[in-house]
Structure 1
Amino acid sequence: MNKLILRGPQSDIDVSLTIGGSKSITNRVLLIRALSGNNFEIENLSNSDDSQTMMNLFADQDQHIFDCHHAGTTFRFLTAYFSLQKGEQILTGSARMKNRPIGPLVDALRSLGAHIEYLEKEGYPPLKIRPFNKQKTKDISIKADISSQFISALCMIGPSLKQGISIKLEGELVSQPYLEMTLKIMSDFGIKSNFENQQIHISSQRYESKKYLVESDWSSASYHFAIAALKPNSKILLNHFFEDSLQGDSAITKMAQSFGVQTTFNGTSLLIQSDDHNLNEFNYDFIEQPDIAQTIAVMAAGKGISVFYNGLKTLRIKETDRIEALQNELKKINVNLIKSLKDHWEFEQFGFAKINNPVFDTYQDHRMAMSFAPLAILGNICINEPEVVSKSYPDFWDHLKEMGFKLEVK
């Protein structure tokens, strides 16, 4: 197991960086390209492991067994995609993937007419998938409070179904910006949809083929907001970001103001700068931006700011149980994340985080590694399994070096 000793920069940070394309947008456009049947050009593709896995699987469809490894989005999107393809496919993944629920998506696809069999545990990967014989119905319902990726997968195959698709969403919709992203990207390729009153209607249509530019990844950018919050006099310029972004995690620009970080757009460049403004507490519902909850938690701990969270329930079924992982690792810096009410969490914290050469575990979760890395500004830290960042942001450690961080692999 690799260990990374991380030391913060001694001088002010003033750097320009280019982060790879959004993983979320890339994976959606890759699926749309496959469904369109035309190999149109995609610019600024994500270089994340997840997107590379998806590209490789699409490029080699002569195989029978498809291994998605840790890539949850890839698994969910390909489950829907293979339901429409010829032949029998087996879709599998890592040990963690086999513990991430897929049942609601499978149930919905079966209702449409797909033939899907669980090969191990009911409701979980791996799957044996055979194609539709005939579409049974266009009307389905699905729980909306587990993963928006299930709904996005169904939406994207909808135009390829002879009857189209009508989806009734049951319960509170989690990560709504990701669903809105899906529908907007579909519209970029000529697909008309209607989403209102917990109902989505998509008729049978054809995807247009066109060259597509992928915006850089806001989830990856969030760690640089944390760095600017913890390091005074920071200036970090990020390229290929849009002020009118499709990505829900662009909300970090507003959140970060509470932690002394200001942002300025200039065309497709984003300047992140430290200032002296800080709040004493931060209250936020992460139901729409779950992927930056860890970043904000660690940033708040480093700044000595009390937090009051809700909307974290989807963190239980991510790459790891992110709530439990956060609790375990924050304790190492004398910060306790406790549940105060149903789905409400807060810090039981007095003063600032205490950095005394902590060793942080990452739980095979890329976001755990990157969320805790900025704490090196406050004192030396050690991160186990630092290579996990390749899942979404392979250049992360190189970018920290450019800022002046010192890295030593043990």
Structure 2
Amino acid sequence: MMYALTPPTRLRGTIDLPTSKSISNRALLLSSLAGNTLPLSKIATCDDTTVMQKALQKDHHTIDIGAAGTAMRFLSAYFATQEGVWTLTGSARMKQRPIRLLVEALNAIGADIRYLEKTGFPPLKITGKALQGGNLTLEGNVSSQFISALLMIAPTMQQGLSLTLNGEIISQPYIHMTLKMMESFGVKAEWETQHIIIKPQPYHPTSFVVESDWSAASYWYGMAALMPDSDMTLIGLQKDSMQGDSKVVELFQLLGVHSEFTEHSVHIFSTGEKITFLSYDFVNQPDIAQTFAVTCCLLDIPFRFEGLKSLIIKETNRIAALKAELLKIGYIINDPEEGVLEWNGTKTSFNVPAVIETYDDHRMAMSLAIAALKHQIIIAHPEVVSKSYPNFWKDVEQVGFLIQPK
């Protein structure tokens, strides 16, 4: 399937954003650990959360999580604490995404996890049992999902968990999110500089409402930056959000988008006032880096982005994918060193319409869709958005885009 996108002459509309899958997946796991006796509200409706919900029902001992990376990491830790023998597997891409550091950490505190195919990668055979816990040391630059997975099961361990993180700690907002949500379910933690201590303690059932997703909001901010006189309202976003990606408000202000918050939404509109060069370290917000790379190119704003090492092990190698697809619409971007992406303003000729590949990556599809405001493009495999934002194309049509299936 392919979609040819024709943009509107102006952007107007109210978008009911999907709720956060990051928060939803944590809420689902924490609720399960707490006994599932009170309701969760506004759980995200997307591929990743559906996988989590089915897995946590524990109806089957072989669980295929598809391309859901968060589910693979969180469930590896969860099932290590659940009596029984469990198999976690996934898509071909999932079997290429490393999980060795998490498996080694879990086994070091009493888990029994073995690789069924290639060492260091899924699928996994997990023999669940009560974990001893104790002291554990990891490098601070490992995936925050590894850290969050360990933290969420820590209260169930016989000795709790004393976790030391060496060096720079990346994606700290996600760790803060995890600890804040654990507190909502009755668990207290101590975090001082490089050390997180969680004592053995019970989770308590709680009602929980999931807020809208700031990562999803970034695509609408990108469109607002590119369209003069744009005016949109995004429903369900919180100014004091626990999501690190709420940084879009501050960053898009630099690209000419102003935000006005109400109690349950944010009103965004273009001001036309933008900087001439953007330098930023996305180490704490890697999921919005694609949006900014695309938007800056389309605004003719050269950039240098750092902190992007994790992008090579996402749903696809997002660094390579961005370079390839932006080249198709004339922008020559470079990765001069690991974790860095930059554009100095260099352009080249290209053929139209440009067919944009999505690499089975929802964020490639949605971030490159913004390019339709400046160039003739066709999005290949648009259905990949179901991973996090199933109604994305309906919302795109709602604000005036014409979508023609090819």
Question: Do the structures match in fold with TM over 0.5?
Answer: yes
Deviations 1:169-228 (A, max 9, x none): 133222111011000111111111011221110001111111111000000110000010
Identical positions, percent: 44
1:62 paired residue number:
59
Q: Which runs of 4+ in 1 moved over 4 A?
A: 351-355
Alignment pair present for 1:409 and 2:393: no
Alignment pair present for 1:73 and 2:70: yes
2:372 paired residue number:
376
1:49 paired residue number:
47
1:93 paired residue number:
90
Mapped to 2, the partners of 1:280 and 1:362 lie a distance apart of 29
Mapped to 1, the partners of 2:195 and 2:44 lie a distance apart of 31
Preserved CA contact (<8 Å) 2:17 2:217: yes
Deviations 1:281-331 (A, max 9, x none): 100000000000000000001100000111000001000000000011111
* Counterpart AA for 2:26: R
Deviation, structure 1 residue 143 = 2.6
Preserved CA contact (<8 Å) 1:164 1:202: yes
Deviation, structure 1 residue 383 = 0.6
1:268 to 264, 270, 275: 264
* Counterpart AA for 1:210: T
* Counterpart AA for 2:400: G
User: What is the correspondence of 1:346-385 to structure 2 with a 5 Å cutoff?
Assistant: 346-350=342-346, 356-385=352-381
Deviation, structure 1 residue 6 = 0.7
Preserved CA contact (<8 Å) 1:301 1:352: no
Alignment pair present for 1:247 and 2:243: yes
Deviation, structure 1 residue 355 = 8.2
Q: How many residues align?
A: 406
Preserved CA contact (<8 Å) 1:166 1:201: yes
Preserved CA contact (<8 Å) 2:81 2:130: no
Deviations 1:74-119 (A, max 9, x none): 0100000000111100000000000101111111110110100100
Deviation, structure 1 residue 134 = 5.4
1:65 to 1:350, Cα distance in 2 relative to 1, 3 A: same
1:147 paired residue number:
143
- Corresponding residue SS for 1:336: coil
* Counterpart AA for 2:352: N
User: What is the correspondence of 1:154-193 to structure 2 with a 5 Å cutoff?
Assistant: 154-193=150-189
Give unmatched runs, 5+ long, in structure 1.
Answer: none
1:229 paired residue number:
225
Mapped to 2, the partners of 1:290 and 1:70 lie a distance apart of 18
1:252 to 1:91, Cα distance in 2 relative to 1, 3 A: same
Mapped to 2, the partners of 1:268 and 1:325 lie a distance apart of 35
Deviations 1:233-257 (A, max 9, x none): 1111111111000000000001001
User: What is the correspondence of 1:260-339 to structure 2 with a 5 Å cutoff?
Assistant: 260-339=256-335
Alignment pair present for 1:24 and 2:22: yes
Give unmatched runs, 5+ long, in structure 2.
Answer: none
Q: TM-score, structure 2 length as denominator? A: 0.97
* Counterpart AA for 1:348: N
Mapped to 1, the partners of 2:364 and 2:176 lie a distance apart of 26
1:211 paired residue number:
207
* Counterpart AA for 1:86: E
- Corresponding residue SS for 1:379: coil
Preserved CA contact (<8 Å) 2:331 2:347: no
- Corresponding residue SS for 1:337: coil
2:124 to 127, 131, 136: 127
Alignment pair present for 1:197 and 2:193: yes
Mapped to 1, the partners of 2:371 and 2:349 lie a distance apart of 9
Preserved CA contact (<8 Å) 1:304 1:351: no
1:13 to 1:118, Cα distance in 2 relative to 1, 3 A: same
Preserved CA contact (<8 Å) 2:139 2:165: yes
RMSD of the alignment, in Å? 1.5
1:222 to 1:342, Cα distance in 2 relative to 1, 3 A: same
Mapped to 1, the partners of 2:292 and 2:351 lie a distance apart of 17
Q: TM-score, structure 1 length as denominator? A: 0.96
Mapped to 1, the partners of 2:389 and 2:59 lie a distance apart of 29
Mapped to 2, the partners of 1:56 and 1:403 lie a distance apart of 34
1:28 to 1:141, Cα distance in 2 relative to 1, 3 A: same
Preserved CA contact (<8 Å) 1:68 1:92: yes
Preserved CA contact (<8 Å) 2:81 2:131: no
* Counterpart AA for 1:402: Q
Mapped to 1, the partners of 2:289 and 2:394 lie a distance apart of 24
Alignment pair present for 1:3 and 2:6: no
Deviation, structure 1 residue 353 = 9.5
* Counterpart AA for 2:366: M
